[in-house]
Amino acid sequence: MLSGIGPEEHLRELGIKVVRDSKVGYNMYEHIGFLGLTFLVNETVSLLQSRITRPTVALEYLLRRNGMMTIPGGAEAVAFLRTKYATDSNADVELLFVSGGVSSDGGLPLKKAIRITDELYDTVYKPIEEKDTWTVWPIVQYPKSVGRLTLRSKDPFVPPRMNPNFYSHPYDLELVLEGLKLAINISRTESFQRYGSKLHDIKFPGCASHEFATDDYWRCAIKHLPSIMNHEIGTCKMGPESDPDAVVDPRLKVHGVRGLRVVDASVMPTMPRGHVNAGIFMIGEKAADMIKEDWK
């Protein structure tokens, strides 16, 4: 948009010369979920910051390529499931299993990174610092809430404004709630009960008027602590020139602009199921092939 390719009215508001009126910044999707489903266990099996930073842990990795440092970000397992809302044979919710929780780093980097308020952290998570926990993130696979990316300024060093509109469509909230219930059922299985797995039951501030673990309580909590996957896609939607919302064509060329392609997750017209990383690699590989074809 800084180059003048974007919504004409928005660009003129910022004093940017319009090169091409285009729906850049619209159609933004993200795999939204819930970060606060935490369970306590009675064995020393989780990734506490104080435990990970021991010299023996680094040594175990260096010498044996084993141990806690081999776990990518604490995410140990994923499950893709169909809920009662599924409209076809594909999974509509993901459960991401993490061998730790919001409190596992002692309230330092993670709290700041995901912008948890002091009130929420001190009420819910500070009491379980240094305790062994695990977490499940229920994540919508095909969200219906649509966001938008806009500019704050024509200064390229000023970050853009992202308005994801999380849970603006009720479907997303109800699907996360259904995934949350599936996760709680899994926590009650024999495999997890071996570790005395117990749902952390301190209420979120702002949700205290609801009875804990009721549907209304969870709906409230989900809105207080949404999880994002950094899977933002769609703001330069791919589609035919006849589509007024399309920014690039099927060869990733920007409609109405010569010599310019967009090659990243923003060209995805709809949110894929599953994580988007492999799809982004595919877009890059395909673009490289198309560029070579054109230069021949």
Distance CA 75, CA 277 (A): 15
Three-state SS for 293?
Answer: helix
- pLDDT for the residue 46: 87
Q: How far is CA 260 from CA 3, 37, 118, 217, 254, in A?
A: 12, 44, 46, 49, 6
For the chain, give the mean pLDDT: 94
Residue 195's identity, in one-letter code, is Y
Query: Which position among 169, 231, 255, 275 bears the catalytic label?
Result: 231
Q: Binning pLDDT at 50, 70 and 90, where does residue 86 land?
A: very high
Distance CA 132, CA 42 (A): 7
Please determine, for residue 74, whether its predicted confidence score (pLDDT) is greater than 80.
no
Please determine, for residue 108, whether its predicted confidence score (pLDDT) is greater than 80.
no
Domains, the chain, with CATH or none: 5-28+233-295 (3.50.50.60), 32-228 (3.30.560.10)
Distance CA 141, CA 275 (A): 9
Q: At what angle do helices 170-187 and 215-224 cross, to 10 degrees?
A: 110
Distance CA 77, CA 201 (A): 24
Q: What is the model's pTM? A: 0.91
Please determine, for residue 109, whether its predicted confidence score (pLDDT) is greater than 80.
no
Contact 160, 56 (CB under 8 A): no
pLDDT in tens, 186-230: 999 999 999 999 999 999 999 999 999 999 999 999 999 998 899
Q: Is 231 a catalytic residue?
A: yes
Residue 88's identity, in one-letter code, is D
